[in-house]
A and B are shown apart, each in its own frame.
Chain A
Amino acid sequence: MDSFLTAMSNLASAWIILSAFAGVLWGIFGGALPGISPSIAMALLLPFTVGMEATNALVLLASVYVGAEYGGSIPAILIRTPGTNSASATVIDGYEMAKQGRAGEALGISLMSGLVGGLFGLAVLVLCTESLAKVALAFTPAAYFSLGILGLSVIAGLSGGSLMRGLIAACIGLMIAFIGSDPVSGVQRFTWGSEDLLDGVKPILVMVGLFAVTEMLVQIGEPAWANGGNASTKLKLPNWAMTKRLIKPQSIGAVIGTVEGVTPGAGGTIAAFMAYSEAKRWSKHPEEFGKGSPEGVAAPESANNVVTATALVPLLSLGIPGSNSAAILLGGFLIHGLQPGPMLFQKAPEVVYGLYGGLFIANIAMLLIGLVILSPCMWLVNRPKPYLIAFILALVMSGVYAIHQSIFECGLVLGIGVLGYVLRLLRLPVLPLVLGLVLGYLVESNYRRSLLISGGEHSIFITDPVSAGLLGLALVLTLYTAWKEFTDRQQAKG
């Protein structure tokens, strides 16, 4: 109780508040730049935390994570360029809303859903860390494989009405995911002798190529945007009716984000896509998805912001960093002589509670900073189209170079942009490709690890209770989607 009260008093500390605001601002800046992932934005600040007091340092780093996850949605909505991997699902309806002159509404929904998700995730972190840590421990390689299959099962919902097209796109995504070293034996696959491909193709490169470069290649031949220069630059927060409508998708995002967040290695990208698909499935207006649905923005934004808090569950309780960002935060703990894990709550409770308090302030900071910066961001994207295209390309190519300082990756992104252009001509959906890409490594590596454990027996996927449950859920969701698609077609035929 004393520690809790100390932590509460820390909330009034000017240094904690300053750390939270500075971290969120830096995070939004980094997250909005394509190529600067949340973990890179955090890593850039890590050296500056050495001389800081432990709680301030950890609040600063965690706030960067919160800000970066939110910041990725701003370019996703405004210029169809996800700043972070987990903002990819926000592109779908966010950019459609922006094209319809509803950018202010989309950004407002994204901001509020991010806040709801962040605060929900924080509540889960504070109240359920101990019990949820057991969930993380229950995940065997077989369960991870089944989790990947569950993720892939949403392809049908993202295929735009043609399961076969979605399947083809997902296979292309998986094929890209398999480039590089084999996860078990280390053998090179599909690298054609190129050292640049040994580490595989980073998902952010594919997403920037598929979304941003492709969009610019398409836009160059299109007329100037109808709303360009005249569109409102006013941020529009959801009114009461919209808030009520968004409760369901935000709740779906919150639940999925919680499960994915506490599972090491799952992460915000999968959570965002699953939340999008489930929000569409349970929506009263599924036909609006992909055409500028507010629910299509709320669900993924809620999910990926929940993950910023719930991803800390395995880190704080077990000392397991489930993502790159959590690994950087682990570095922050170690720099200050703290070892995350069960003993952390006994040895340094004031730091843990201080971090909780700091995360609360970080979410409030995200709201306040968002309210200030979003209108200028909208003004920027309403500049004349030729200059906007030129600056987006300059920003995108600079961001791509920034990832690994690699000229090869700049060329690779152009190639992926061409692939995206061809996919558009062939009307193949891009989202299943992204999902296949993100899940490829998770599915293959855990499939093979499971078979190594079981001596080649596939029954391991059924005998493991968590795996069996996830596979069953994947089957139910797939059958439900197929049945719904069938009945919709029958109804359309009349």
Chain B
Amino acid sequence: MNDAWVDRVSGGLGMLLAAGYIAAAQSIEDSLLADAVGAAGVPTGVGVVLWTASLFLFLKSFKSKAGMLQEAEDGPTEGGSPHPHAMALGLLLILAAYVFLLPLLGYVVSVGLLVGAAAWFAGARRYTTLLGCAVLAGPFLWLVFDWTLEIRLPVGLWPMWLGK
């Protein structure tokens, strides 16, 4: 996308966001303890500023002839993945799977799976190293957070599955 299109999309999305936000702010219930400004007052003001700035950016995009001609450098980087957004989405899915599995499989197993899956997805293909990292990551980070910092980490459903 060139600069003008980026401005246009940013401005358009900003105006939509501002409109939705102002509507959400207006639906905030008033309290008996409310002051003159109220709980909705400042958020509404911020919504108006956002809408105005977005409108300015949107209108500016039509004026910017130079920007229309200038191609921005947001294609794939040389040597990188030809589909960077798909790669980002893939990594995001791995992270989402980690968040989903954490309460089920517990911290040690989930982190091990996260490290293994993320490293493989990023291009690691030495399977012995990969396996070693995945197996050791959980116990190592558990030692740091649970044992050293005394932050209790989820154990998952293992106690139930093992009948404890």
Determine how close the nearest CB of chain B comes to the CB of A353; give it in whole angstroms. Answer: 32
In the bound complex, do residue A394 and residue B53 qualify as a contact, i.e. CB atoms below 8 Å apart? no
Residues of B within 8 A of A167 (CB): 49-50, 53
A184-B9 Cα distance, complex, nearest whole Å: 36
Is A477 an interface residue, CB under 8 A from the partner?
A: no
Determine how close the nearest CB of chain A comes to the CB of B125; give it in whole angstroms. Answer: 9
A33-B120 Cα distance, complex, nearest whole Å: 24
Determine how close the nearest CB of chain A comes to the CB of B21; give it in whole angstroms. Answer: 6
A178-B41 Cα distance, complex, nearest whole Å: 11
Residues of A within 8 A of B118 (CB): 386, 389-390, 393-394
A interface footprint on B85-103 (CB within 8 Å = 1, 0 otherwise): 1111011100110110011
Residue among B13, B87, B99, B145 making CB contact with A398, cutoff 8 Å: B145
In the bound complex, do residue A44 and residue B124 qualify as a contact, i.e. CB atoms below 8 Å apart? no
In the bound complex, do residue B115 and residue A402 qualify as a contact, i.e. CB atoms below 8 Å apart? no
Determine how close the nearest CB of chain B comes to the CB of A285; give it in whole angstroms. Answer: 24
Given contacts A178-B46, A221-B81, contact A187 B39 (CB under 8 A): yes
Residues of A within 8 A of B14 (CB): 168
In the bound complex, do residue B141 and residue A178 qualify as a contact, i.e. CB atoms below 8 Å apart? no
Residues of B within 8 A of A221 (CB): 76-77, 80-81, 83-88
How many pairs of A and B residues are in contact by the CB < 8 Å rule?
201
In the bound complex, do residue A397 and residue B78 qualify as a contact, i.e. CB atoms below 8 Å apart? no
Determine how close the nearest CB of chain B comes to the CB of A478; give it in whole angstroms. Answer: 14
Is A425 an interface residue, CB under 8 A from the partner?
A: yes
In the bound complex, do residue B35 and residue A389 qualify as a contact, i.e. CB atoms below 8 Å apart? no
A184-B28 Cα distance, complex, nearest whole Å: 14
Given contacts A171-B53, A185-B34, A421-B88, contact A426 B13 (CB under 8 A): yes
A397-B57 Cα distance, complex, nearest whole Å: 36
Is A83 an interface residue, CB under 8 A from the partner?
A: no
Residues of A within 8 A of B80 (CB): 221-223
* CB closest residue in chain A, given B142: A398
In the bound complex, do residue A189 and residue B28 qualify as a contact, i.e. CB atoms below 8 Å apart? yes
- Residue total for A at the interface (Cβ-Cβ under 8 A): 62
Residues of B within 8 A of A182 (CB): 28, 31, 39
Determine how close the nearest CB of chain A comes to the CB of B12; give it in whole angstroms. Answer: 10
- Residue total for B at the interface (Cβ-Cβ under 8 A): 80
Given contacts A187-B29, A390-B119, A451-B36, contact A426 B6 (CB under 8 A): yes
Is B157 an interface residue, CB under 8 A from the partner?
A: no
Is A68 an interface residue, CB under 8 A from the partner?
A: no
Determine how close the nearest CB of chain B comes to the CB of A452; give it in whole angstroms. Answer: 5
In the bound complex, do residue A414 and residue B92 qualify as a contact, i.e. CB atoms below 8 Å apart? yes
Is B122 an interface residue, CB under 8 A from the partner?
A: yes
A448-B42 Cα distance, complex, nearest whole Å: 9
* CB closest residue in chain B, given A425: B74
B interface footprint on A146-178 (CB within 8 Å = 1, 0 otherwise): 000000000000000000110110011011001
In the bound complex, do residue A386 and residue B124 qualify as a contact, i.e. CB atoms below 8 Å apart? yes
A414-B24 Cα distance, complex, nearest whole Å: 23
Given contacts A217-B92, A398-B141, A426-B6, contact A222 B84 (CB under 8 A): yes
* CB closest residue in chain A, given B126: A384
Is B153 an interface residue, CB under 8 A from the partner?
A: yes
Residues of B within 8 A of A387 (CB): 119, 124, 129, 133
In the bound complex, do residue B98 and residue A390 qualify as a contact, i.e. CB atoms below 8 Å apart? no
Residue among A384, A402, A421, A426 making CB contact with B151, cutoff 8 Å: A402
Residues of A within 8 A of B150 (CB): 44
Give residues 436-454 of A contacting B (CB, 8 Å): 443-444, 447-448, 451-452
Given contacts A220-B87, A386-B121, 7 further A-B contacts (CB under 8 A): A44-B150, A171-B49, A178-B42, A217-B88, A220-B84, A220-B88, A447-B37
A-B contact pairs, 30 of them (CB 8 A): A30-B149, A164-B53, A171-B53, A185-B35, A186-B31, A187-B28, A189-B40, A216-B91, A220-B84, A220-B122, A221-B81, A223-B78, A223-B79, A224-B79, A386-B119, A387-B119, A387-B124, A389-B119, A390-B114, A391-B133, A397-B99, A398-B145, A405-B151, A405-B154, A410-B98, A418-B92, A426-B6, A426-B10, A427-B10, A448-B41
Q: Lowest 9 CB-CB distances: which A-B pairs, in order?
A: A221-B84, A223-B79, A386-B122, A185-B31, A386-B124, A171-B50, A390-B119, A390-B118, A182-B39
